[in-house]
Structure 1
């Protein structure tokens, strides 16, 4: 129930025990991001001691080679036959997620991304729970929007940050200020300081959404959880106080 990487090609191999649980056994998994319940279709795993000793293999794909391959990153790719193998388990897992969520939803909202993965998952969940789906509830923040709060904080209360944080933040802010209207992306921001940036902005609010509407937030990967936290916060700020949960394709790394 895992993956192997051969010549930069990610292969789904149920005989392996690396990177990911690739069948319905052990999936879905649950986590909590602050107070937000998050369910993941596939559970990521720590590298085994054997794989950890192979330093070159450990680096490729940042312990999530499949999502890197699906996005065409790190020079990784995945063949269609591996996707077909993986897809055999997806209906059962998503059915399990629908049961866990119950009838407590009004809208399924995918996070904005240059990759279609979150939207694909959102549509599948929408069909499973019988609720409408949107990819327009949130938009990617511009670099100027993402950095506005932390930029002000650094200038008004430097003592709120460690010296290491301040140096790292100023470096990122300098980079973002060169292209203020570009869409913000966290890929060049250290995980430890991503919490200081606002990755999202509110988009189009469907007419049927009310203050107590219950919204399912969908993303492709759970790492730091900053995108889901930002979406959760934006909805609260907009006065939408209904119960919320999150679903991702891939979980945090677990033992």
Structure 2
């Protein structure tokens, strides 16, 4: 099962192909390993579709951005596959508390609520926030930059230095190959006392390079918390 996009940018489910998004339970969830972290995504994104789209019109439709939309009656059609896949995921993390990552639209929070309805997990929504330009520059490690990336890094640093230091950083405007050099999130230290120290499961909307979610895991581990994994609604391409 995949998705179609109409000329007026409405997303619809198509059970006859796997283009743009693979939604069938037999091919999901999607596992992706990063150093010290394993992620599981409910739906598999794919570039198999028309060339103008990058494989995620569904998330644009959920966020109502870039002109994409999805009707409520169409969204309901995804529920059987969504529930079947989600049960596969949450069975692997009994007793884990959910920590959501920040976004301009609360898809991670919605996903966390769906998980909590099925297993009673406790949700923590404001542990993380988007980092400011000043924070990203302060945490940047120039010694970690590979030679082949130096020119692009210099260009990005020049861009950062022209911005308001209090502006929030958005990695979507940055090339994938240099995203890992910058930490786009910060931790709200005053809220850490709310968290249990063991069995934390990160929840995010979409995987791209894994930079955000791995930085989140590392921040928690640095503060002596145990992260058992991460769940995303959409996989990396």
TM-score normalised by length of structure 2: 0.90
* Structure 2 unmatched ranges of 5 or more: none
Aligned residue in 1 for 2:186: 201
CA distance in 2, matches of 1:139, 1:206: 13
1:77 aligns with 2:69: yes
**More moved, 78-87 vs 67-76:** 67-76
Aligned residue in 2 for 1:218: 203
Asked whether the 8 Å contact 1:12–1:22 carries over to 2, the reply is no
Aligned residue in 2 for 1:16: 17
Over 4 Å off, 4+ runs: none
Per-residue deviation, 1:229 = 0.5
**Which residue of the other structure, out of 112, 131, 139, is the alignment partner of 1:141?**
131
Count of residues in Structure 1 that have an aligned counterpart in Structure 2: 234
**Which residue of the other structure, out of 54, 57, 65, is the alignment partner of 1:65?**
57
3-state secondary structure, aligned to 1:73: coil
Q: Deviations over 1:140-162 (max 9, x none)?
A: 11111123232xx43xx4x9432
Aligned residue in 2 for 1:30: 31
1:117 aligns with 2:107: yes
CA distance in 2, matches of 1:96, 1:250: 15
Asked whether the 8 Å contact 2:217–2:227 carries over to 1, the reply is no
Aligned residue in 2 for 1:6: 6
* Structure 1 unmatched ranges of 5 or more: 52-56
**More moved, 165-174 vs 2-11:** 165-174
Q: Deviations over 1:12-42 (max 9, x none)?
A: 1112220112233322222212221111111
1:176 aligns with 2:160: yes
CA distance in 1, matches of 2:187, 2:86: 27
**Which residue of the other structure, out of 192, 202, 208, is the alignment partner of 2:177?**
192
CA distance in 1, matches of 2:214, 2:88: 24
Q: Deviations over 1:169-225 (max 9, x none)?
A: 2222222231211111101110100001111111253545344x1100000011211
Aligned residue in 1 for 2:119: 129
**Which residue of the other structure, out of 203, 221, 224, is the alignment partner of 1:239?**
224
CA distance in 2, matches of 1:243, 1:41: 19
**More moved, 27-36 vs 222-231:** 27-36
TM-score normalised by length of structure 1: 0.84
